[in-house]
């Protein structure tokens, strides 16, 4: 079974609008971290935001926020006021803790976001 | 500047010709890892290292070797590359389990 599921292969949004990119995860480990990365067409992986499993509040970083619903095992990325430069592939990822062998950053298959003017 | 440096950025080679992709980080991170990215498959882990002289297989280790003789360096070795190893490769490093990984800029490898 997939540990990270991103169900939206592609999303389209107009400039200045907000957009939500979906991510669900599967783990039985009580300690884990959830991450979002952005990959523009140039190829580099850019870290956006992190949410720990024990964090009480949803993480926010500038225009990025993470809608963390632990019971539903979802960690959706919300981008407010989209900009043309937000057009990229977005990856949700998870690291499980409490197990020395389970430190891999497991990625979803990504969502391509296209922002139009 | 804190960074992960991979070289080369682009590499075209032929089947069977041994190659090494270098990776170096200047953040004193204990954890380092190699991923490959293929269309429709996302990023998959090849090998990782928890510290010097400690390496472990990831999800797709076949055809690859790594070494961790020093904390800062984690080279990826393809002893006999094959066309199915054509991919975009990323090196990454990090500290604690729940801290973000820092990625290199990637190496686009083509094996003909």
Mean local confidence (pLDDT), B27-42 = 92
DSSP symbols for B59-87 = S--TT-EE--SSSSB--EEESS--GGG-E
pLDDT greater than 80 at residue A45: yes
The mean predicted confidence, pLDDT, of chain B is 93
Residue A101 is predicted with a pLDDT of 44
| A97 touches B at CB < 8 Å | yes
Mean pLDDT of the A85-105 span: 79
Q: Give one DSSP letter per residue of A97-114, joined into a string.
A: -S-TT----EE---EEEE
- Pairwise CB contact (< 8 Å): A103 & B31: yes
In eight-state DSSP terms, residue A84 is G
> Tell me, what's the pLDDT at B100?
82
- The per-residue pLDDT for B96 is 65
Least Cα separation, residue A68 to chain B (angstroms): 16
Smallest CA–CA distance, residue B48 to chain A, in Å, is 8
- Range name among A5-14, B78-87, B91-100 with the lowest pLDDT average: B91-100
Contact B59 A104 (CB under 8 A): yes
Contact B100 A47 (CB under 8 A): yes
């Amino acid at each position: 079974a997939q540990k990270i599921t991103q169900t939206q292969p592609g999303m389209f949004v107009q400039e200045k609008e907000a957009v939500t990119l979906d991510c669900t995860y599967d783990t039985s480990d009580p300690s884990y971290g959830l991450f979002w990365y952005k990959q523009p067409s140039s190829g580099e992986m850019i870290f956006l935001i992190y949410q720990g499993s024990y964090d009480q509040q949803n993480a926010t970083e500038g225009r990025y926020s993470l809608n963390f619903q632990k019971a539903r095992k979802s960690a959706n990325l919300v981008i407010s006021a989209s900009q043309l430069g937000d057009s990229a592939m977005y990856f949700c990822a998870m690291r499980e803790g409490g197990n020395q062998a389970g430190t891999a950053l497991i990625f979803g298959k990504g969502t391509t976001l296209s922002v139009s003017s | 500047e804190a960074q992960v440096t991979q070289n080369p950025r682009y590499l075209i080679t032929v089947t069977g010709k041994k190659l090494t992709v270098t990776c170096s980080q200047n953040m004193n991170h204990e954890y380092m890892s190699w991923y490959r990215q293929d269309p429709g498959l996302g990023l998959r882990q090849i090998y990782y290292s928890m510290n010097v002289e400690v390496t472990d297989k990831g999800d797709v280790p076949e055809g690859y070797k790594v070494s961790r003789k020093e904390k800062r360096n984690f080279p990826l070795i393809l002893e006999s590359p094959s066309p199915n190893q054509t991919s975009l490769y990323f090196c990454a490093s990090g500290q604690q389990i729940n801290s973000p990984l820092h990625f290199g800029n990637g190496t686009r490898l083509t094996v003909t």
